């Protein structure tokens, strides 16, 4: 018997990957990527929530053949994990989203692409290849024509789904970002909205956008409680356009489905309650991602793993049961196992992939995905499970602060 595979002896865990990446990123990027909103307590709890559960391993079950694969968007994915959409990946590495795409392709792992990517929808799909599944994360703009164009481009490029981000009616308050007056360096662009589309110069993040973040004027979160906001105009920037306080279930989800069907599925990303999960089912979305945006939006919100059971229960009470995914705080293969045992069908991972990218570009992302894959497979085997669909709550116990253990 040999030691478990070591892909990089300098980096055997996601924790080590974070440390290595942290040394390599400039302060602006590191702060932008790593921080959560306000005190960061929701970001921290997304991670620590996994420690409330312990695994109940079963033995003597012949685990000599383990199948970690699942289906997503009609494709086989090597493990029940995808790369969450995260903005502006060229900040971490010059190859940015292309490096992520190539690593995803190699690892048979679905990729979520942010609307605010530093490479275009079409370019990234080319790096993924025609067969490989991808989902476009959508910030649905008030300027609906821009969103319609994005959707059409994604369809044409072969994206399988749109993940509508619903937890950004306003932008969360990220203090380091504000203190650093974060903006995209001049040599980078938010590629989907730059020259070439519509012959319309839509700039990347400029000085005035920083103003929007610090004063929150225009984002609807100004201090004047009676002020009425005006819809954003001019350049498309993340501060001005990503948050959209006008979105509603009735008007916008229905509109989006009409625009996307039949080529692309419509998912909502950012559900955190049973009530909204029920509405998502009633509006017949194709899937739900339980997410609090990696703790970057409403600080004080429940950790996603803690929100997951109520969402799963709500969805299971419905006749049209849709898949439930979760993201936030996943840093080890055992976390993937725990999320699935609590009823998730699939998980998405954000920051660890960015750390991989910052560490070694494509190779670093691949390393990140390999670590999580290896850990997940090992966890399945040691827990006595050979098929993903067999992972259930009987494999977990909850442990409270005083060490009291209870069955689920």
Catalytic residues: 293
Report how far residue 347's alpha carbon sits from residue 72's, in angstroms, rounded to the nearest whole number. 11
291 is in an annotated binding site: yes
Footprint on residues 277-296 left by ligand FMN (CB under 6 A): 291, 293-294, 296
Please select the residue that binds ligand COI; options are 102, 155, 293, 325, rule is CB under 6 A.
Answer: 293
Please select the residue that binds ligand COI; options are 37, 84, 87, 303, rule is CB under 6 A.
Answer: 87
Contact 256, 164 (CB under 8 A): yes
74 is in an annotated binding site: no
Report how far residue 49's alpha carbon sits from residue 303's, in angstroms, rounded to the nearest whole number. 7
Please select the residue that binds ligand COI; options are 296, 331, 332, 360, rule is CB under 6 A.
Answer: 296
Least distance to ligand FMN, CB of residue 291, Å: 5
Please select the residue that binds ligand FMN; options are 98, 269, 325, 377, rule is CB under 6 A.
Answer: 269
Contact 368, 106 (CB under 8 A): no
Judged by CB under 6 A, the number of residues near ligand COI is 6
Q: How far is CA 71 from CA 79, 80, 286, 322, in A?
A: 9, 8, 14, 14
Closer CB to ligand FMN, 32 or 376, in the complex: 32
Q: What is the DSSP letter of 224?
A: -
Q: Which of 288, 286, 289, 279 is nearest to 265 (CA)?
A: 286
Report how far residue 394's alpha carbon sits from residue 24's, in angstroms, rounded to the nearest whole number. 42
Q: Which of 240, 255, 260 is nearest to 193 (CA)?
A: 240
87 is in an annotated binding site: yes
165 is in an annotated binding site: yes
Binding partner of 364, given ligand COI, ligand FMN, none, CB within 5-8 angstroms per partner class:
none
Least distance to ligand COI, CB of residue 141, Å: 12
Least distance to ligand FMN, CB of residue 320, Å: 24
Q: Does 235 bind ligand FMN (CB under 6 A)?
A: no
393 is in an annotated binding site: no
Q: Which of 387, 373, 316 is nearest to 82 (CA)?
A: 373
CB contact set of 31 (below 8 Å; sequence gap of 6+): 176, 177, 180, 182
Rounded (10°) angle between helices 304-316 and 333-341: 30
Please select the residue that binds ligand COI; options are 141, 238, 348, 376, rule is CB under 6 A.
Answer: 238
Q: Does 141 bind ligand COI (CB under 6 A)?
A: no
Q: Does 348 bind ligand COI (CB under 6 A)?
A: no
Give the annotated binding-site residues for FMN: 85-87, 114, 137, 165, 269, 291, 327-331, 350-351
């Amino acid at each position: 018997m040999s030691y478990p595979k070591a892909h990089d002896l300098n980096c055997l865990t996601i924790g080590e990957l974070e440390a290595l990446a942290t040394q390599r990123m400039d302060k602006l990027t590191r702060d932008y990527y790593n921080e959560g909103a306000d005190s960061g307590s929701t970001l921290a709890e997304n991670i620590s929530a996994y420690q409330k559960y312990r695994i109940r391993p079963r033995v003597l079950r012949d685990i000599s053949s383990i199948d970690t694969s699942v289906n997503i968007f009609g494709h086989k994915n090597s493990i029940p994990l995808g790369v969450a959409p995260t903005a502006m990946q060229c900040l971490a590495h010059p190859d940015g989203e292309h490096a992520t795409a190539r690593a995803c392709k190699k690892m048979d792992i679905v990729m979520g692409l942010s609307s605010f990517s530093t490479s275009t929808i079409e370019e990234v799909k080319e790096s993924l290849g025609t067969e490989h599944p991808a989902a476009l994360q959508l910030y649905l703009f008030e300027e609906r024509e821009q969103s319609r164009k994005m959707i059409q481009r994604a369809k044409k490029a072969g994206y399988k789904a749109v993940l509508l981000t619903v937890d950004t009616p306003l932008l969360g308050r990220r203090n380091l970002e504000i203190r650093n007056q974060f903006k995209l360096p001049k040599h980078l662009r938010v590629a989907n909205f730059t020259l070439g589309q519509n012959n319309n110069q839509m700039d990347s993040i400029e000085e005035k956008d920083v103003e929007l973040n610090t004063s929150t004027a225009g984002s609807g979160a100004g201090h004047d409680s009676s002020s009425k906001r005006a819809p954003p105009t001019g350049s498309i920037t993340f501060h001005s356009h990503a948050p959209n306080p006008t979105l509603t279930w009735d008007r916008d989800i229905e509109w989006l489905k009409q625009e996307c069907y039949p080529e692309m599925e419509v998912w909502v990303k950012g559900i955190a309650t049973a009530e909204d999960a029920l509405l998502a089912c009633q509006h017949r979305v194709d899937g739900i991602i339980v997410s609090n945006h990696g703790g970057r939006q409403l600080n004080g919100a429940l950790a996603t793993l803690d929100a997951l059971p109520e969402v799963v229960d709500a969805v299971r009470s419905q006749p049209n049961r849709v898949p439930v995914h979760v993201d936030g705080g996943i840093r080890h293969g055992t976390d993937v196992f725990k999320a699935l045992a609590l009823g998730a069908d699939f998980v998405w991972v954000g920051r660890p992939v960015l750390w991989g990218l910052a560490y070694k570009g494509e190779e670093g992302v691949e390393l990140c995905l390999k670590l999580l894959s290896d850990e997940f497979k090992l966890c399945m085997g040691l827990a006595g499970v050979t098929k993903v669909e067999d992972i259930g709550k009987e494999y977990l116990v909850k442990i409270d602060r005083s060490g009291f253990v209870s069955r689920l």
